[in-house]
Structure 1
């Protein structure tokens, strides 16, 4: 991968190195929500803020090479060659920072729901267990709703 060059971010000559960074993030961290991807690329360039021009450049380059799925919380870019309706496992947060539930693709949350189901946990306890496994200290209403939706999808696939 080429050296990071914030001064060249919008230059045509910088497209290939920038694309390589985007490819790496999506391949390693995907599915990844579009604004989270733009934020990762901006931080790699030393920027604390991710403005609309930065986001637009990153999303335009990602859109040209990766499948994307629109969810109610945003657009997710998926690694090439993956099934956008299923994800094999839930990726637990690295370190102490939980991943916001709205930045996790729904199929990955369904994979988490399957793990909880396999443990025999049901009902509201299942939602609480999913939140705990996701690393959440506090369960906001929006996160609860998203986890409940994933739980319902997992339950309808295999019956409860």
Structure 2
């Protein structure tokens, strides 16, 4: 899948920063949310909010923008992953999704479903190493594994293996 950078869009949804907070703009925002989620899924709600803001020409997101995006989430599926809400197009929800690279994402912006897919793809090699989490991190493109990233990957590995 080709990933479109957040600031660039092939979107057919007409966007208007001037109308963003108008009540009659809600349907436009909902269509844009569905387009972004379909292109980038799964993604944290915070990443979706940044993508919406950037597609309207804003470099930052604030409480009002976040609230508008939150109001438009009823057309997508929101699922908690280890305390972080991720959004999906309802028809696209899956237990495994091919890892699409880190790009400009932090590891906590990567769904456990992508990490589980990567574990599945590399199960033999990961089982043969002394530190499977470190090896997984390297395969994900993480050169320096922080304590937080290790914890997230360990939790994702437990989830992939059928734990909670």
TM range (shorter): 0.7 to 0.9
Specify the SS of the correspondent of 1:112. Answer: helix
Give the TM-score of the pair, scaled to structure 1: 0.82
Q: After superposition, where does 1:16-55 map in structure 2 within 5 Å?
A: 16-55=27-66
Quick one: structure 1 residues 118 and 24, their matched pair in 2 at CA, closer, same or farther if it must change by over 3 Å? farther
How far apart are 1:27 and its partner, in Å?
Answer: 0.9
Aligned to 1:90: 99
Assess, with a 3 A threshold, how the Cα gap between structure 1 residues 2 and 24 changes in structure 2: closer, same or farther: closer
> What is the SS of the residue equivalent to 1:87?
coil
Change in 2 beyond 3 A, CA 1:5/1:43: same
Matches within 5 A, 1:69-88: 69-83=79-93, 86-88=95-97
1:32-59 CA distance string (max 9 Å, x none): 1000000011111111111011011112
Bigger shift: 116-125 or 7-16? 116-125
Q: 2:151 aligns with which of 142, 145, 150?
A: 145
* Structure 2 gaps, min length 5: 1-11
CA RMSD of aligned residues (A): 2.1
Deviations 1:13-70 (A, max 9, x none): 22222212111111111111000000011111111111011011112202x1111111
User: Is contact 2:30-2:75 (8 Å) kept?
Assistant: no
3-state SS of paired residue (2:143): coil
Structure 1: tracts of 5 or more residues without a match: none
How many angstroms does 1:149 deviate by?
1.7
How many residue pairs get aligned? The number is 152
Task: Please state how far the C-alpha of 1:133 moved relative to its aligned partner.
Answer: 2.7
Structure-2-length-normalised TM-score: 0.81
